[in-house]
C-alpha cells in the first residue's frame, strides 16, 4: 500500500468518521495546550471536508474552553466574509454562530478584494503579534488537499510555494483567475501538530504523487508540508487511498 514517508497514516471509512475522530482528539489537544501555555491556537482549513468537524465541535462545545481557544484561517478566498465562497463564512455557519467563543479570539483574514497584498501584510502582522514573533507554534494546523495536490492555497506553480521569507501571502492562482490568501509552508511547518483531512476518490492520484518517490513540490505542493518538530497526521478516507503501487 502506498503510504506517506513522513507522518502517521490513519485510514477511515469516510469523511464522517475522520471528522468524529478529529473532534474526539481535538478535545485533549486543546486541554493540554491550555494547561501548558494558557491558550490553544488553531489554523482552520477551508473547503468542504472540514465542515462536519466544525459542526461536531459546535455540537460538543461544552468540551472546549472557548475563552482560551484562538482561531485563525490557514487560507482564504479573495472575497468578503459574507460571500458564499468565504472560508470564514463556512466556519461561521458551521461553528462560530453556535459556540461561545469571544469575538476577540476569532482572527478572520481582513480581506480587501481590491488590495490582496495589503490584506496579506495585515494578517501576517496579526500573526506575528499574536505569536510574539516569526515562529508560529500552532497547536494545530488543519489542512485539506485538492485533487491537484494543493493545500491551503499553495497551488501548483504559484509564487506562494517559494515565499519562504514570509508567513502569510497573497497568491495569484491562474486557473481561478483570482488571488487567494495563504499561510506559507514555513508558517505551517512550525506547528506542533498538522492534520490532513482528506477524502474522495478524486484525491487518490494526487496522494499517489504527494507520497511518491519523486519530490516535486511545485507540482505537488502538499509535499511542502514537513513539520520541523511537530507531528504530521494523515487522516484519509479509504476512497482517497492510492492503489497499491
Ligand X SMILES: O=C(O)[C@H](O)[C@@H](O)[C@H](O)[C@H](O)COP(=O)(O)O
Closest CA to 99 of 66, 52, 51: 66
Q: Please report whether residue 152 would count as binding ligand X according to CB under 6 A.
A: yes
For ligand X, which is the closer residue by CB, 144 or 217? 144
Q: Distance between CA atoms of 87 and 76, rounded to whole angstroms? A: 6
Q: Distance between CA atoms of 224 and 150, rounded to whole angstroms? A: 10
Per CB under 6 A, the list member of 18, 33, 43, 46 interacting with ligand X is: 46
Please state whether beta strands 40-44 and 106-107 pair in parallel, antiparallel, or not at all (unpaired). Answer: unpaired
Q: Please report whether residue 80 would count as binding ligand X according to CB under 6 A.
A: no
- What lies within 8 Å, CB to CB, of 62 at 6+ separation is none
Per CB under 6 A, the list member of 23, 107, 109, 144 interacting with ligand X is: 144
Per CB under 6 A, the list member of 40, 45, 69, 236 interacting with ligand X is: 45
Contact assessment for residue 221 and residue 154, using Cβ atoms and an 8 Å cutoff: yes
Q: Please report whether residue 19 would count as binding ligand X according to CB under 6 A.
A: no
User: For residue 18, what is the enclosing H or E element?
Assistant: helix 15-37
Per CB under 6 A, the list member of 48, 130, 135, 157 interacting with ligand X is: 48
**Stretch of residues binding ligand X (CB under 6 A), selected from 2-10, 53-61, 93-101, 140-148:** 140-148
User: For residue 188, what is the enclosing H or E element?
Assistant: helix 185-189
**Stretch of residues binding ligand X (CB under 6 A), selected from 111-119, 146-154, 160-168, 170-178:** 146-154
Number of residues engaging ligand X in binding (CB under 6 A): 14
Please give the residue ranges that form the binding site for ligand X (CB under 6 A): 45-49, 75, 87, 144-146, 150-153
Amino acid at each position: 500500500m502506498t503510504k506517506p514517508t513522513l507522518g502517521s497514516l490513519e485510514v477511515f471509512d469516510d469523511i464522517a468518521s475522520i471528522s468524529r475522530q478529529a473532534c474526539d482528539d481535538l478535545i485533549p489537544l486543546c486541554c493540554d495546550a491550555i494547561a501548558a501555555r494558557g491558550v490553544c491556537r488553531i489554523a482552520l482549513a477551508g473547503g468542504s471536508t472540514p465542515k462536519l468537524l466544525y459542526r461536531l465541535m459546535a455540537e460538543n462545545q461544552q468540551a472546549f474552553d472557548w475563552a482560551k481557544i484562538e482561531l485563525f484561517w490557514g487560507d482564504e478566498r479573495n472575497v468578503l466574509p459574507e460571500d458564499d465562497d468565504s472560508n470564514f463564512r463556512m466556519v461561521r455557519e458551521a461553528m462560530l454562530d453556535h459556540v461561545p467563543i469571544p469575538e476577540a479570539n476569532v482572527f478572520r483574514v481582513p480581506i480587501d478584494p481590491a488590495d490582496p497584498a495589503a490584506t496579506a501584510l495585515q494578517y501576517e502582522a496579526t500573526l506575528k503579534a499574536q505569536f510574539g514573533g516569526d515562529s508560529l507554534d500552532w497547536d494545530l494546523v488543519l489542512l485539506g488537499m485538492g485533487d491537484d495536490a494543493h493545500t491551503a492555497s499553495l497551488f501548483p506553480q504559484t509564487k506562494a510555494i517559494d515565499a519562504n521569507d514570509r508567513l502569510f501571502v497573497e497568491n495569484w492562482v491562474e486557473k481561478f483567475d483570482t488571488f487567494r490568501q495563504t499561510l506559507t509552508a514555513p508558517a505551517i511547518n512550525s506547528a506542533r501538530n498538522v492534520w490532513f483531512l482528506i477524502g474522495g476518490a478524486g484525491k487518490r492520484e494526487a496522494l499517489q504523487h504527494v507520497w511518491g518517490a519523486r519530490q516535486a513540490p511545485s507540482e505537488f505542493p502538499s509535499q511542502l508540508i514537513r513539520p520541523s518538530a511537530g507531528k504530521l497526521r494523515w487522516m484519509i478516507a479509504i476512497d482517497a487511498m492510492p492503489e497499491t503501487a
